[in-house]
Amino acid sequence: MTTENTTPRRWLRRAGAPRLEFGADYNPEQWPREVWAADVRAMRAAGVTIVSLAIFSWARIQPRPEVYDFAWLDEVIDLLHAGGIAVDLATATASPPPWLTTRHPEILPVDLHGNTVWPGGRQHWRPTSPVFRAHALRLVRALASRYGKHPALAAWHVNNELGCHNVYDYSDDAANAFRAWLRDRYSTLDRLNEAWGTDFWSQRYSDWDQILPPRQAATHPNPTRNLDFKRFSSDALKDHLRAERDLLRELTPDVPVTTNFMVMGQMNPMNYADWAAEVDFVANDHYVLPGPQARDELSFSANLTGNIAGGQPWFLMEHSTSAVNWQPVNVAKKPGELHRDSLTHVAHGADAVCFFQWRQSRAGAEKYHSAMVPHAGEDSALFRSVVALGERLASLSEVAGSGRVPADVAILFDWESWWVAENDSHPTDRLRYRQEALDWYTALLNLGIRADVVPVGSSWERYRLVIAPILHVVPAALAARLTAHAQENHLVTTYFSGIVDEHDQIWLGGYPGALRDLLGIRIEEFGPLLDGESADLDNGTTGTLWTDRVDVTDPAVEILARYKTGEQAERAAITRRAVGAGSAAYVSTRLGPDGLTAVLPRLLEAAGVTSELPSALRGRVELARRGDHRFLINRTSEPVDLGPDGILEPRAVKIL
């Protein structure tokens, strides 16, 4: 097995040997000047190497339309530089200042009910507003001209978490831009009418100007318009990213440009697989979501980020030292979790471990959000843990620059299937695309099997086993790729896969249309389950959420499990069709992590995939590999005996 390309496309502009960077968002404007020098001293004590600066500083940098105030920022950047700390300088366009929204209320987004999204929070700007764009680019130009040559400047940080709050805008600007985007995609109205199926409910358009974003409608809106609006909204923000990036590249060609993605949880509006090529290196923000799979979800997100980055190192721009402030109940991290979370990101390719934020705010909406320096100050367990993390990262510089070692198993990840499968007016509104993918990932971890979570558009042909959970949107070309793959290798897919084409139109003739022949099955009707209902299988597992009325149509299909109870009793529940030297398997219900852990061994065996871990460690330890390094991550709260490699403390990570 070879290591993926180990040369980053482009990394920070800074001198010195490769190392794992360590730092945070730094918001000095929230503090009096006297604190700044103390901050830099404490950063040095903690081993901080880089900070992201000026993310929300627009109102300070440009207090009035014609007035710029760089004095404070000059001072902060010089102080940081004198302390040997590099700067990832934000373009400061994330939160427009009050003078701008007062003078130009037409930049404010409009929600689907037609209400204005007022200032008072942040990100109150329309991605498609030409007025906002002009003001933002003016600010970008001013910053690039002033700081482009500053020796502390290591990278540009475009805006911040593009689309975190303003991705879906239903304003007239959005309507105009949506129409232009649609003209580009379809060229003619006839093609659009065909793709959207507008003969349904008399929706046929006779003029482009009749097309609107999916504003609040009387009932279920046209699903293909929904899909195109999601594609368009992701593209509109990508367009903003490109506009800032292009100007930065023109003015400061030697400074790399990035922006922080949000590969985490249910955050699905931005198709990051499609954005990755726009940045010089991928950066991600990740926050742990409470729940039984919290740790695995972090690993899953880091893994996907690493594969979005093409296996090359990426930058963890934000995570938290402890509690956040935006969940219903915000719990502190348990001992060990800060280090384990950070090092799990490193295990999956992060060459920088940064936090939101350096010093915990005293005022504002995020004052209860943890930081590297808590309200209690430097004399605190949290700060001591931060210092220890800085030391650990400094000792791991030989990891920096190494690429991910690909696994034998891939889980395909598809933003369009995520968008469409969770649309309304479907057989069930309970289906959760990412949860199903995560369940497979957890099951593989339970068995000690390394897997890569890879975007469906990337090259996954080398994987011996490809798992495609709820791969709902399958255009003809993708069906052909999957079919070719299963000739030599092994494919597993699940319920509600292969159902529609790229226009969200059904593949006819029985489900799962696009994959029916490949799987050798035919489904006339879906059998979604009500809350609390379940269906037992004859292999001892239990399905929830969904069942299918499966008919086996090809004698080459082996029935791996049948339904024992419920409407589908006696019918096939899990099937596998031998195809050439490979196979194509189908799982027709939601088995959850435990059920999948029980079912996977047969599928892995057929693909010839075995665990790289000794049996005593499987399930308790996650293995990740970068270059020659093996990361052993304790998934449990108990010590694990690694034999000759010693004891792996609870929630700890060992790097061999």
Question: Among residues 373 and 454, whose Cβ is nearest to ligand GAL?
Answer: 373
| Residue 571, annotated as binding a ligand | no
List the structure tokens of 225. Answer: 């318009």
Q: Count helices and strands (H / E) in the chain.
A: 17, 25
CB of 370 to ligand GAL, least distance (A): 9
Which range touches ligand GAL (CB under 6 A), out of 159-167, 341-349, 428-436, 542-550? 159-167
Task: Classify residue 449 as left (phi > 0), alpha (psi -120 to 50) or beta.
Answer: beta
CB of 356 to ligand GAL, least distance (A): 4
Q: Of residues 52, 95, 101, 160, which one binds ligand GAL by CB under 6 A?
A: 160
CA neighbor of 525 nearest in space, from 513, 511, 514: 511
318 is known as an active-site residue: yes
Question: Among residues 324 and 387, whose Cβ is nearest to ligand GAL?
Answer: 324
Q: Of residues 161, 351, 414, 436, which one binds ligand GAL by CB under 6 A?
A: 161
Question: Among residues 201 and 368, whose Cβ is nearest to ligand GAL?
Answer: 368
Which range touches ligand GAL (CB under 6 A), out of 80-88, 109-117, 160-168, 594-602? 160-168
- What is d(CA 392, CA 343) in angstroms, rounded to the nearest whole number? 9
List alpha helices for 504-589, DSSP H. 516-519
E strand map for 140-217: 153-157
> What string marks each residue from 316 to 345 as x (binds ligand GAL by CB under 6 A) or -?
--x-----x---------------------
CB of 24 to ligand GAL, least distance (A): 11
Question: Among residues 112 and 289, whose Cβ is nearest to ligand GAL?
Answer: 289
Residues 287-316 that bind ligand GAL (CB under 6 A): 287
CB of 14 to ligand GAL, least distance (A): 23
Told to check if 501 binds ligand GAL by CB under 6 A, we report no
| Residue 222, annotated as binding a ligand | no
Are 649 and 634 contacting, i.e. CB atoms less than 8 angstroms apart? yes
Q: Which of 4, 21, 161, 436 is the catalytic position? A: 161
> What are the residues whose beta carbons fall under 8 Å from the beta carbon of 189, sequence distance 6 or more?
205, 206, 207, 208
Residue with tokens 């007016």: 425
- What is d(CA 628, CA 184) in angstroms, rounded to the nearest whole number? 47
> What are the residues whose beta carbons fall under 8 Å from the beta carbon of 336, sequence distance 6 or more?
649, 650, 651, 652
- What is d(CA 227, CA 182) in angstroms, rounded to the nearest whole number? 12
CB of 161 to ligand GAL, least distance (A): 4
List alpha helices for 252-332, DSSP H. 272-275, 294-308
> What string marks each residue from 241 to 280 as x (binds ligand GAL by CB under 6 A) or -?
----------------------------------------
User: CB neighbours (10 Å) of residue 515?
Assistant: 26
CB of 88 to ligand GAL, least distance (A): 13
Residue with tokens 């650990």: 392
- What is d(CA 2, CA 22) in angstroms, rounded to the nearest whole number? 28
161 is known as an active-site residue: yes
Q: Which of 318, 337, 416, 622 is the catalytic position? A: 318
Which range touches ligand GAL (CB under 6 A), out of 157-165, 291-299, 339-347, 482-490? 157-165
CB of 537 to ligand GAL, least distance (A): 41
- What is d(CA 534, CA 547) in angstroms, rounded to the nearest whole number? 9
> What are the residues whose beta carbons fall under 8 Å from the beta carbon of 625, sequence distance 6 or more?
404, 405, 450, 631
Are 614 and 620 contacting, i.e. CB atoms less than 8 angstroms apart? no
Strand-pair partners of 526: 548
Question: Among residues 320 and 497, whose Cβ is nearest to ligand GAL?
Answer: 320
CA neighbor of 287 nearest in space, from 317, 319, 265: 319
- What is d(CA 369, CA 164) in angstroms, rounded to the nearest whole number? 17
Strand-pair partners of 626: 404, 629
Residues 598-617 that bind ligand GAL (CB under 6 A): none
Question: Among residues 257 and 466, whose Cβ is nearest to ligand GAL?
Answer: 257
Told to check if 164 binds ligand GAL by CB under 6 A, we report yes
CA neighbor of 309 nearest in space, from 355, 256, 273, 342: 273
Question: Among residues 60 and 464, whose Cβ is nearest to ligand GAL?
Answer: 60
CB of 324 to ligand GAL, least distance (A): 5
Are 223 and 502 contacting, i.e. CB atoms less than 8 angstroms apart? no
Q: Of residues 285, 501, 504, 548, which one binds ligand GAL by CB under 6 A?
A: 285
Give the count of residues interacting with ligand GAL (CB under 6 A).
Answer: 10
CB of 301 to ligand GAL, least distance (A): 14
> What are the residues whose beta carbons fall under 8 Å from the beta carbon of 328, sequence distance 6 or more?
none
Told to check if 460 binds ligand GAL by CB under 6 A, we report no
3 state SS of 254? coil
Which range touches ligand GAL (CB under 6 A), out of 158-166, 204-212, 493-501, 580-588? 158-166
Backbone φ and ψ of 399, nearest 5°: -75, -30
List alpha helices for 257-333, DSSP H. 272-275, 294-308
3 state SS of 314? strand
CB of 502 to ligand GAL, least distance (A): 31
Q: Of residues 340, 369, 426, 577, which one binds ligand GAL by CB under 6 A?
A: 369
Q: Could you tell me what percentage of the chain is helix, strand and coil, using 3-state DSSP and rounding each to the nearest 5?
A: 35, 20, 45
Residue with tokens 């509690």: 323
Question: Among residues 132 and 287, whose Cβ is nearest to ligand GAL?
Answer: 287
Which range touches ligand GAL (CB under 6 A), out of 156-164, 177-185, 230-238, 612-620? 156-164
Question: Among residues 39 and 285, whose Cβ is nearest to ligand GAL?
Answer: 285
Question: Among residues 315 and 586, whose Cβ is nearest to ligand GAL?
Answer: 315
| Residue 481, annotated as binding a ligand | no
CA angle 415, 420, 422 (to 5 degrees): 100
Residue with tokens 């990426």: 314
Residues 528-567 that bind ligand GAL (CB under 6 A): none
Residues in the annotated binding site for substrate: 122, 160, 326
Residues in the annotated binding site: 122, 160, 326
What amino acid positions are annotated as catalytic residues?
161, 318
**Residues binding ligand GAL (CB under 6 A):** 160-161, 164, 285, 287, 318, 324, 356, 366, 369
